[in-house]
Amino acid sequence: MARPTHIRDAHFPGRVPIDTYGDGGFRFADMSHRGSLLLLPSGVYGWDLTEGDALTVEAFQRVLDEAGEIEFLLVGTGKDIRPLPAALKAAMRSRGISSDPMGTGAAVRTYNIMLGESRPVAAALIAV
């Protein structure tokens, strides 16, 4: 089944904490979003990855494009922790980004704390 391409176009300019997650989406800034998210210095973007999809360098290109402003990338891999492929870790490391996979719930909580501390953090969150 083909996925809708409009998800990538969803964008909220600004850095905001995630209020809640679950039921296939997230709530933030008094809005809700169904599907996965990238939380970057330039804003919040819809992301067309689902649990079980391959974690490829291409899927993280938008993160890599903002590498100068990101030191930490939290990867919420869904309900369970999945290791990041070596190629993806190497691509992040080559741009000075430390990447850490964890369940999406843990990634949301950690992101909110680091954002509150004004740390150079980004998150890639697969919806659960």
Domain of 29 in residue numbering reads as 5-125
The secondary element (H helix, E strand) that includes residue 87 is helix 86-94
Interval 15-33 mean pLDDT: 96
What's the number of domains the chain is made of? 1
- In three-state secondary structure terms, 5 is helix
CATH number at residue 29: 3.40.1230.10
* Maximum CA extent, the chain: 41
**The pLDDT of residue 9:** 59
Interval 33-56 mean pLDDT: 96
Cα(11)–Cα(37) distance, integer angstroms: 10
Interval 27-35 mean pLDDT: 95
Cα(49)–Cα(36) distance, integer angstroms: 6
Share of the chain above pLDDT 90, in %: 89
Residues 6+ apart with CB under 8 A from 31: 12
Query: What pLDDT digit, counting tens, does each position of 94-104 carry?
Result: 999 999 999 99
Cα three-residue angle 81-119-90, rounded to 5 degrees: 50
